[in-house]
Amino acid sequence: MIEIGKMQRLQIIRKSETGAYLSFKDAKDSEEILLPENQLPQELEIGNEIEVFVYKDAEDKTIAMVNRPKLTVGELGILRVVQTTNFGAFLDWGLPKDLLLPLREQVSKVKKGDSCLVGLYVNNNNKICATMRIYDLLSTESPYKQNEIVHGTVYSINRDLGVFVAVDNKYHGFIHNQELYGDYTEGDEIEVRVKKVREDGKLELSFRKEAYKEIEGDAQKIMDRLKLSDGTLLINDNSSPDDIKAEFNMSKRAFKRAIGRLLKEGAIKITDDGIEMMW
């Protein structure tokens, strides 16, 4: 069966003034599809095979073309918004007819010029559409291991849980709120560490380095802040997590670990009101 939205290798069965009709090699009573004359390489004859992409053209006819679009069904990638309407947005995917991203398939409002991470699907009318709801399209078979650094795209944000990331725009990734620092929006490209590879293959991610490496950075951050504050800060290990995060952009656990290191080295002392640098 010829599949809409995918590249497939078909055989030229017959020719006409409008182009060549294609079907699967040696298939009996198989459906045929038109490859328009302007897409047909001159050197190809009846019986030759050719790889084509199958889609609906501007007149809603199912046809083949030799050019491969930027994405096919089953693939994920970033496409640019070229137009918006009250029912969706149109994306540039390298074909004469732009690709529809329906309004219901958008996880956040998009505007002209935006870049969106999308996957493709075939709707009930056999038309190819884009979706930003890519969770079910991601793979759990990544090659990555714990503590490796990876790149990905933020594709969904749950304020109560955390940030969903498509690692390499292919694999399941997630950053829990406690590992999240700064503000992020859908479409942001980020670099993170694999904190854990779950049994189901999904990746738990973190912006933080490994704990033993992070101590140095956090400790230095506290010392830098102390120097700017004449050696005194009104915050210590009894302060609330929110106050610590607001002051240092780190978790309370990381803060306590860092000041523990500084105490051990004799760099600071803890007072009832906060911490002081030992000059």
Domains and CATH numbers, the chain: 7-65 (2.40.50.140), 76-133 (2.40.50.140), 138-206 (2.40.50.140), 211-277 (1.10.10.10)
Asked whether 262 and 223 are in contact (CB, 8 A), the reply is: yes
What pLDDT, in 10s, does the model give residues 22-34? 988 766 666 888 9
User: Between 99 and 125, where is the model more confident?
Assistant: 99
Q: Among 16-30, 124-138, 170-184, which range has the highest average pLDDT?
A: 124-138
Task: Say yes or no to pLDDT of 65 above 70.
Answer: yes
- Output the furthest CA–CA distance in the chain (Å, rounded): 90
Say what angle helices 241-248 and 252-264 make with each other, to 10 degrees: 70
Task: Say yes or no to pLDDT of 215 above 80.
Answer: no
What pLDDT, in 10s, does the model give residues 217-233? 788 888 888 889 888 99
Q: Which two tokens stand for residue 246?
A: 């607001």
What does the alpha-carbon distance between residue 87 and residue 39 come to, in Å, rounded to a whole number? Answer: 32
What does the alpha-carbon distance between residue 128 and residue 278 come to, in Å, rounded to a whole number? Answer: 66
Nearest to 65 by CA among 90, 93, 89, 104: 93
What does the alpha-carbon distance between residue 71 and residue 111 come to, in Å, rounded to a whole number? Answer: 20
Q: Which two tokens stand for residue 266?
A: 């004799």
pTM: 0.69
Q: What is the mean pLDDT of residues 206-219?
A: 67
User: Between 72 and 159, where is the model more confident?
Assistant: 72
